[in-house]
Amino acid sequence: MADFIQQLVEGLGAGAIYASLALALVLIYRFTGIVNFAQGEMAMFATFIAWQLVQAGVPFWLALGATLAIAFGGGMLIERVVIRPVEGAPELALVIVTLGLFILVNAAAGWIWSFLIKDFPSPFPGGALDAGGVHLSYSTLGVLGVVAVVMGLLYILFRYTKIGLAMRAVASNPASARLLGIRVSGVLALGWGLAALVGAVSGVLVAPVLFLEPTMMGGVLIYAFAAATLGGFDSPVGAVVGGLVVGIAETLAGAYVGVIGSDLKIGVPLAVIIGVLLFRPQGLFGRAAVERA
Amino acid sequence: MSDVDIPRTARLAVPSATALRRLAVALVAVAACVAPFQLEPFRVFQLTMVLVYAVALLGLNLLVGHAGQISLGHGGFFAIGAYTAAVMLDRWDTPHVLTLPAAMAVTFALGFGLGVPALRLRGLYLALVTMTIAIFLVPLLKRFESVTGGSMGLTLSRPEPPSWTGLAEDQWLYFLALAVATAAGLAVWSLLRSRVGRALHAVRDNEIAAEVMGVRLARYKTLAFAWSAMLAGAAGAVNTWVIAFVSPDSFTVNLSILLLAGIVVGGLGSTFGPLLGGAFVLFVPTLAQDVNQAAPGVVFGVVIILIMYVAPRGLAGLAGRGGRFLDQALRKK
């Protein structure tokens, strides 16, 4: 039993990371209707920036703050420069542009920092809390804490601030929002900036576990896709719940289903994605799209 | 338009667009037959690989360009075609020629099977699912080591040129690839000129309208998926003949992304897009590789994004535009 709870806790820790990347995907999807295939690579790039700052002797938490600010600015810049020209284009064009961005960012990181794997310092102490035979490592607790803080701040932003209200207005109806005097284009850029920031959090959290390299986020992105699909691509709450569920499912399947083991764990998100899309395409918390012919 | 005023006799002097097109096709055909005798073996090998990619892109073009369905998993079908051929060669010493129809049959069946759930998915979701499948395939291939050779892969033999041809191995491989590519190209071309092609275009342009006009969406979408997968599988089998080696790491999700990028750059929905895309996929990384290990990715990313801005119909679209411009300029004189 203690072993089972142990797996559960580890699943939650992994799930929190998927949840934050899934949240980034959902933010962009809600604002621009784009599934951003480059989200993981943007997070990876931000993580490299954090690594560079730490290497240069900046204290970790200061480096993290600077990285998040840079990620925010970078996300806004990408929306302005890369995404704006294809706004409202067919889905295929959007998918291809974000894939282009995926390839570009990945190669750029390899160019600047090489493809060799790097050790990323963990911001949390190494030990573990012992609670009735279950080891709660500080790093898992720290990950859960950081993700919870980020979610809380986002909730406050969207729920209680004027700019959050404007963002919700744009997400729900851009044309009416524009008529109300909201600068829609500015809000869209802000949405991308926020998403890049949230994604960067997931990158920094996952880097100590996976080691830092340009392909680091490839697998994480698939789990985040599964999480966002499970929760519903237009639901931030769904992304978080979906992330935790996928994290737990992955850990339990890897530990207890012999056929799956550690090498075929990537099949779990695949099964989740296909299952959800076949039986409940809008996800657990999403709204079903109504189509008018 | 000003060309209404031009007398008929003057117009005859300028070759029509159709004639120019035919001339271009004839020139390409002649060049394709002469090239292997003029170039050094490495260049012949490169051209062979262009043809291999062109076959896969023909399939992808059918699905994405003509039927409007996104697939990020064609690297997976390519891999399955390659492995079907490889396992047959490795286990049973099958003659090379027989591995091609087998690979096509397997990938057709799988494409059809995947096409059924894909019916319920559209656009982004289809891209997601196909991409996840392509990613899942690599650990799967590594897992069944006894059949696939695991991470080490399988080393195989190349088809030997029959003595009556007097061809070297690289030339023989080239002509095999050329034959497959030509057959595939003609098959797709005639398919698209039939009612099937019109039905696919209708599905792409407006599903609801197509259904109202009596096009059976489910049937055409699954078939498009199956045909498209089959062509990718055929390309995979020929790839196995040419490279004589398969390993899971040659078929990562990057291959799928590369293929989609190739057809976008070559020209979605165009006749020569797959060939141009194949050349792009093969030569651009080779050229950029000299600069830096990461340079091919940077070039690819930038080119794909720029192409979406300035030429959504790809290189073939640009060439067509250039041709029309030339045509009009000639007529004005």
| Structure confidence by residue, pLDDT tens digits, A218-257 | 788 888 888 888 888 778 888 888 888 888 888 888 777 7
For residue B193 the two structure tokens come to 């000129």
For A:128-167, CB contacts with B below 8 A are none
Stronger pLDDT, A198 or B164, i.e. the higher one: A198
Q: Which domains does chain B have, with CATH numbers?
A: 2-332 (1.10.3470)
Q: Do B305 and A82 touch (CB under 8 A)?
A: yes
Residues in chain A: 293
Q: What pLDDT is attached to residue A56?
A: 87
As a whole number, mean pLDDT of residues A74-86 equals: 87
The alpha helices in chain B, defined as continuous H runs, are 8-13, 17-38, 41-60, 74-92, 96-118, 123-143, 145-148, 169-193, 195-205, 207-212, 217-243, 253-266, 273-289, 295-310, 314-332
The ipTM assigned to this model is 0.80
Q: Give A260's pLDDT tier (boundaries 50, 70, 90).
A: low
Q: Per residue in A100-117, pLDDT tens?
A: 898 889 888 888 888 788
For residue A18 the two structure tokens come to 């998927």
Q: Per residue in B87-121, pLDDT tens?
A: 888 778 777 777 888 888 888 888 888 877 777 66
Domain ranges of chain A: 2-216
As a whole number, mean pLDDT of residues B62-81 equals: 85
Q: Give A69's pLDDT tier (boundaries 50, 70, 90).
A: very high
Q: What pLDDT is attached to residue B2?
A: 46
Q: What pLDDT is attached to residue A211?
A: 78
Contacts of B135 in chain A (CB under 8 A): 218-219, 222, 266, 270
Q: Percent of chain A, pLDDT > 90?
A: 7
Write the CA distances from B109 to A278, B99, B106, integer angstroms: 20, 15, 5
User: What H or E segment, with its residue span, contains residue B246?
Assistant: strand B245-246
As a whole number, mean pLDDT of residues B211-216 equals: 78
Contacts of A105 in chain B (CB under 8 A): 301
Q: Per residue in B282-309, pLDDT tens?
A: 888 777 777 777 777 888 888 888 888 8
Q: What pLDDT is attached to residue A72?
A: 92
Task: Report the range of poorest mean pLDDT among B118-127, B135-144, B217-226.
Answer: B118-127
Q: Do A263 and B142 touch (CB under 8 A)?
A: yes
Closest CA in chain B for residue A90: B123
As a whole number, mean pLDDT of residues A83-104 equals: 83
Residue of B123, B132, B297 lying closest to A104 (CB–CB): B297
Q: Percent of chain B, pLDDT > 90?
A: 1
Place of tokens 């899934």: A22
DSSP letter string over A26-78?
Answer: HHHHHHHS---TTHHHHHHHHHHHHHHHHHTT--HHHHHHHHHHHHHHHHHHH
What is chain B's mean pLDDT, rounded? 79
pLDDT > 90? residue B173? no
Q: Name residues whose C-beta falls within 8 Å of residue A4's C-beta, 6 or more positions apart in sequence.
A: none
Spatial separation of the C-alpha atoms in residues B71 and A164, rounded to whole Å? 36
Stronger pLDDT, A263 or A169, i.e. the higher one: A169
Closest CA in chain B for residue A292: B208
Q: Does A111 contact B at CB distance below 8 Å? A: yes
Q: Per residue in B120-129, pLDDT tens?
A: 666 677 788 8
Q: What pLDDT is attached to residue B5?
A: 54
Q: Per residue in A31-40, pLDDT tens?
A: 777 888 888 8
Q: Per residue in B225-273, pLDDT tens?
A: 888 899 999 998 888 888 888 888 888 777 888 888 888 888 887 877 8
Q: What pLDDT is attached to residue B15?
A: 62
Q: What pLDDT is attached to residue A70?
A: 93
Q: Per residue in A171-197, pLDDT tens?
A: 878 888 888 888 888 888 888 898 899
Q: What pLDDT is attached to residue A45?
A: 92
Q: Does B288 contact A at CB distance below 8 Å? A: no
Q: Do A103 and B301 touch (CB under 8 A)?
A: yes
Q: Among A236, A224, A225, A229, which Cα is nearest to A156's? A: A236
Place of tokens 């990347």: A21
Cα B54–Cα B290–Cα B153 angle in degrees, nearest 5 = 55
Amino acid at position B214, single letter: G
The alpha helices in chain A, defined as continuous H runs, are 2-32, 39-55, 60-78, 91-113, 138-160, 162-172, 174-179, 184-210, 217-231, 236-256, 267-279
Q: What pLDDT is attached to residue A292?
A: 55
